[in-house]
A and B are shown apart, each in its own frame.
Chain A
Amino acid sequence: MGLRKIDSPATGHNKNPWFKTREKIIESILFLSAMVSVGVTVSIVGILTYESAGFFGEVSVWEFFTGRQWTPLFSDPKFGILPLVMGTLLTTAVALVVALPLGIMVAVYLSEFASYRLREFVKPILELLAAVPTVVYGYFALLLLTPFIQGFIPDLPGFNALSPGIIIGIMIIPYVSSVSEDAMRAVPMHIREGSFAMGATKLQTSFKVIIPSAFSGIAAAFVIGISRAIGETMVVAIAAGGQPNFTLNPLEPIQTLTAYIVQVSLGDVPYGSISYQSIFAAGITLFFMTLGFNILGYFLRRRIREAY
């Protein structure tokens, strides 16, 4: 928060009583607006809980979290969430393999090596990677990247976890790089100068001094990237196929939690049916998976601000 602000005397120096009332009314309106965001969270948790309560009335929690078959549209439906969770983790893992090294390289380069002008030029363009509509990325993954990879791996099916994973990785580079870069730039100059004085090169300083000092910020960047990758929907809905698949092989078609919700929403599912409720059960699983990462990321980021 920094220095404490000085508060205005509630009415200024004006004796008009209306001013006092007006100040109160305005403050209340602003407060209510801020509370809307709390209301959103309450609604999310409330709706997800309420709808999935109906679902868990019919499917046991045990079956849901341990079952390896997810066949909700069969005549004998099975509701084991593990294949969808596995699909989500698989694309996320592929995305992280792409995004973490690239994101860190970009962050180190922009923070420690690049000139001011290059940085000011590159950063907004890099942010564009996160701004591209995900449906366009999906088009790219399905119709461009998959055929390209098939040139190297001829057996790769048209739908697979690999190419959407790579695309999601590219997409989250800006999240990883910008938060890491902020953390690295928050390391005070005298720490770098100390390292240079010992004869270290910029590279040695970056990896042996700056990265360890900025560690919690970089960890926050990772965590934010993971949360984004888990929640990504359209790329996997378009390019990963629609079969829930309990596998760790990125070359197979899979389905993620998010893609399942899209698949069911596209169909004509009657309100209150078990398929309808199952998307909320998938949703609440997704929500709690990302919630943990989001909160962890928040506290890690807050630590950067307080560190120096």
Chain B
Amino acid sequence: MDTIGHTIRKNKFFNGVFLIAGLLSTFVGLMLLAVLLIDLAIDGSPRLTYKFLTSFPSRFPEEAGILSALVGSFLVLLVTTGAAIPLGVAAGIYLEEYAKKNLLTDIIEINIANLAGVPSIVYGLMALGLFVQVLKLGESILTGGLTLALLILPMVIIATRESIRAIPNSIREASYALGATKWQTIQHHIVPYSTGGILTGIIIGLSRAIGETAPIITIGALTFIAFLPSPPVTAEFPFLSFKWLWDPFTVLPIQMFNWISRPQHGFQLNAAAAGIILMGMTLIMNGFAIYIRYKFRKKIKW
């Protein structure tokens, strides 16, 4: 009897040890994230002034700012959003609602799974060859935005599919029973009910895109841009101009990378300040995505 008691005590002890070890390992990453944020905040916050946000890059760390990078990031993201959302959602709808179970569908699925894992820099090389050299789009905002759109396309498709898959078939059958066509069913039921999941996926994808550096470097974005792209709104008719699509640009992560690789300490502080902005955007976007997921999950109960 004694040995059984001993074994039980031993097993319970190890169980307890693992409980603590598991909790610790779960929080290792989180603690590192906290250290990273605190370090950025300490180094960067003194540089984070209004002037920093509204100045162009400069040879002098105290005068340098992130205006062109911020505007560049915003415009690139605009192109990415415009291209990735319609393509990704449409592809997701096709694969869930229309695709027959055949070889072609299998190929598309394996292909998307692979694309989700292709290193971002390979997208950059592809874009350099296709957009810059073959299609002659130049090292422009359009090229940058399209590159990132292709990069996050698999994420949007996967999010769309997962949230469509969660809709029970009874909804579709009820719609068909009322005489709706397939597209009417999708338009009035499938898309509205899966909006939460799709939005979550899109926002997380965009937050990836905003932090992407490597593919943008590969397509040849400049690291030193001391001017703004042409304004999208003009005084004369038709008041909208798309000339900015063809302008050269830089983005926030590239500006930060450029500052990190300089030896002067002043530039490293600038890098930290840019890092705070970048992290802030990432955290806000991810927080928003979590909020949307939570809200829609509460709202829709099948």
Contact = CB atoms under 8 A, between A and B. Distances in A.
Interface of A: 1, 3, 5-14, 19, 22-23, 26-27, 29-31, 33-38, 40-41, 43-44, 47-48, 50-51, 101-102, 105-106, 108-110, 113-114, 122, 124-129, 131-140, 142-144, 170, 173-174, 200-204, 206, 224, 227-228, 230-234, 237-238, 258, 261-262, 265-266, 271, 279-280, 283, 286-287, 290-291, 293-295, 297-298, 301
Contacts of A227: 117
A65 B169 CA distance: 53
Interface string B171-211: 01101100111111100000000000000000010011011
A36 B279 contact: no
A101 to B, nearest CB: 8
Given A13-B179, A51-B129, A279-B125, A139 B217 contact: no
A126 B29 contact: yes
Given A37-B157, A110-B26, A231 B90 contact: no
A37 B175 CA distance: 30
Contacts of B39: 140, 144
A234 B253 CA distance: 10
Contacts of B90: 29-30, 33-34
Nearest to B184: A12
Contact of B119 (A110, A206, A258): A258
Contacts of B12: 201
B114 A131 contact: no
B151 to A, nearest CB: 9
A286 B153 contact: no
Contact of A23 (B33, B183, B282): B183
Nearest to B268: A143
A202 B15 contact: yes
A229 B286 CA distance: 22
A30 B87 CA distance: 8
B22 A283 contact: no
B181 A8 contact: yes
B181 A38 contact: no
Contact of A37 (B26, B154, B184, B260): B154
Nearest to A13: B179
Secondary structure call for the A interface: helix
A258 B176 contact: no
Contact of A48 (B18, B120, B125): B125
Nearest to A12: B181
A31 B94 contact: yes
Secondary structure call for the B interface: helix
Interface of B: 11-12, 14-15, 18-19, 21-23, 25-26, 28-30, 32-33, 35-36, 39-40, 86-88, 90-91, 93-95, 97-99, 101, 107-108, 110-126, 128-130, 133, 150, 153-154, 157, 169, 172-173, 175-176, 179-185, 204, 207-208, 210-214, 217-218, 220, 223, 253, 256-257, 260-261, 268, 271-272, 275, 278-279, 282-283, 286, 290
B126 A44 contact: yes
B273 to A, nearest CB: 11
B279 A132 contact: yes
A6 B125 contact: no
A125 B30 contact: yes
Contacts of B181: 8, 10-12, 14, 19, 23
A48 B126 contact: yes
A27 B98 contact: yes
Contacts of A37: 91, 108, 111-112, 115, 153-154, 157
Among A122, A203, A231, A298, max chain B CB count under 10 A is at: A203
